Amino acid sequence: MQATRHYSRAPITEAIIDLKVNFPEGFSVDNLEAIYTLISDHFPFKEPIYTSSFVFQPGPTPKVNANQQQNGFMFRSEDGLRVFQAALSGFTFSQLAPYETWEHFRDEAKHLWEIYNNTCKPL
């Protein structure tokens, strides 16, 4: 078996797998929080993800509307190199350099996707 090689200047700064999904009516961000208990040993840091919008309507009486709502959670590994995002908009897994192998990255993403998919049951 070939030894794992780490490049001092990796050609890719961050590897990302990002999947967009839809959920059934009534699904909420609270349902996503259940994932944490299944991954907290490998991703101990949990942060909320917020989506913000700002609308400006010009006219004689300008209107401004700002909105912020929680869209999901970001889970970080102890070393901060791996990030798993479970959001109402989808699934994202990323790995910063140094990398091991594509197979290792792919297998971890697949494992996390199975947790996300089985827990949240996106359409």
Region 87-100 average pLDDT: 90
pLDDT at 56 (0 to 100): 82
Q: How many alpha carbons lie under 13 Å from residue 94 in its C-beta half-sphere?
A: 16
Confidence of residue 4 (pLDDT cuts 50, 70, 90): low
- Model pTM score: 0.81
Bridge partners, 14 (sequence order)? 96
Does residue 100 carry a pLDDT above 80? no
Chain-centre distance for alpha carbon 113? 10
100: left (phi over 0), alpha (psi -120 to 50) or beta: alpha
Residue 1's identity, in one-letter code, is M
**Domain locations in the chain as residue ranges:** 14-120
Residue 63's identity, in one-letter code, is K
Confidence of residue 32 (pLDDT cuts 50, 70, 90): very high
